Copies of this chain bind each other. A is one copy, B any other.
Amino acid sequence: MKEQKVINVILSGGSGTRLWPLSRENKPKQFLQIFEGKSLYQHTLLRNKELVDEFMLITNEKQYIDAKKQADELAINIAAKIIEPIGRNTAPAIALAALSVEKDTILFVTPSDHMTADQLQYQDCVAKAIALAKNNSIATFGIKPTEAHTGYGYIEYEKEDVLKFWEKPSAKDAQLFLEKGNFYWNSGMFCFKASVFLEELEKYDPKMLNACKIAMPTIKNGLVGMNAMKKIPADSIDYAVLEKSQVIKTVPSKFYWTDLGSFDAIINYFERGNQVDNLQQISNEKGSNFAFSNKKIIAAGVENIIVVDTADCILLLPKGKSDLVKEVYNSIKDSNNKLI
């Protein structure tokens, strides 16, 4: 029997606004080369390259330029690409990937903008997920929650079995999940056989699958035809398939995982001893402050301030409340969009 090919499908889509002004519309979070000189996208390539046979990139036209350049910097080949003229969320992106490969190909789907540590544990988990995928399961990666985060999906489990998939919960539900204890964070990584995913999509969203099939022949040099893409309904893989499917398994994942989805998350990663370029901790008699800047930062008599210093603007936030950047971004967007 021919060994099944394993492809890392990397999703690089939405332009995260949560790290604004470090990230900008034209330089999304996954391409910021601030983690020892490399971007989260590059770290994704590096940690997976020994674990898979090929890379496939699903992105948009703008981001493809950065993605190609940064892969070239690492001398890593992106064997296949699907370029979406408009975003339709994760389910159609993954469906197009699954339709473009041989049916028994194993797809290891990952975001482009997360970070992991503990590479041996990570490799072990990915191997387990690939084994589950070969056995016709859809494998997910369950991360033990450390807080009642409302920005992640949750996986309710009992021993090895997934009881239920929960999309991003309310603060109240997130707290409940944390207290109950048998809930994982859904890391947004999945592993399955292309045919298995397509069968499940056929079951739970046949219209989406059909629209994706119609779109396939419109793909030219990776780029999906605009009209066909417009006809694909938008939905996340979580809603379209995972919440309903009965073939889901989860791999309890002991490796460190973070989506670095806020300045606080980056600071937390930094405080664990990881290097973040230009991130400085400024301690004084009152406490600590943190700054993203290539200048020397000095702070006296103030604590728990986050300074984000960029070429054209400086943002101040309180540590622990860096989510406030969302409101700032929205207000700036209207009044000062050259900073966006």
Binding site for B on A (CB under 8 A): 21, 282, 289, 291, 293, 295-302, 305, 307, 309-318, 321, 324-325, 327-328, 332, 336, 339
Contacts and interface: CB of A to CB of B under 8 A. Distances in A.
Nearest to A313: B296
Nearest to A282: B316
A314 to B, nearest CB: 5
A299 B174 CA distance: 29
B296 A336 contact: yes
A147 to B, nearest CB: 19
Contact of A317 (B21, B297, B300, B315): B300
Contact of A293 (B291, B314, B317, B339): B314
Contacts of A332: 298
B314 A298 contact: yes
Contacts of A296: 312-314, 336, 339
A18 to B, nearest CB: 13
Given A300-B327, A307-B314, 11 more contacts: A289-B316, A295-B312, A296-B313, A296-B339, A297-B314, A297-B316, A298-B315, A298-B332, A300-B318, A302-B317, A302-B318
B313 A298 contact: yes
Nearest to A321: B301
A316 B324 contact: no
A21 B295 CA distance: 12
Of the candidates A310, A314, A318, the one having the most CB atoms from chain B within 10 angstroms of its own CB is A314
B328 A316 contact: no
Contacts of A309: 295, 309, 314
Contacts of A313: 295-298
B300 A316 contact: yes
Of the candidates A289, A291, A295, A300, the one having the most CB atoms from chain B within 10 angstroms of its own CB is A300
Nearest to A315: B298
A297 B308 CA distance: 10
Contact of A300 (B21, B293, B328): B328
A302 B305 contact: yes
Contacts of A282: 316
Of the candidates A289, A291, A307, the one having the most CB atoms from chain B within 10 angstroms of its own CB is A307
B312 A299 contact: no
A339 B135 CA distance: 63
Contacts of A312: 295-296
Q: What are the 9 tightest A-B residue pairs by CB atom distance, in nearest-first order? A: A299-B316, A300-B324, A296-B313, A301-B318, A301-B324, A300-B328, A298-B315, A297-B314, A301-B321
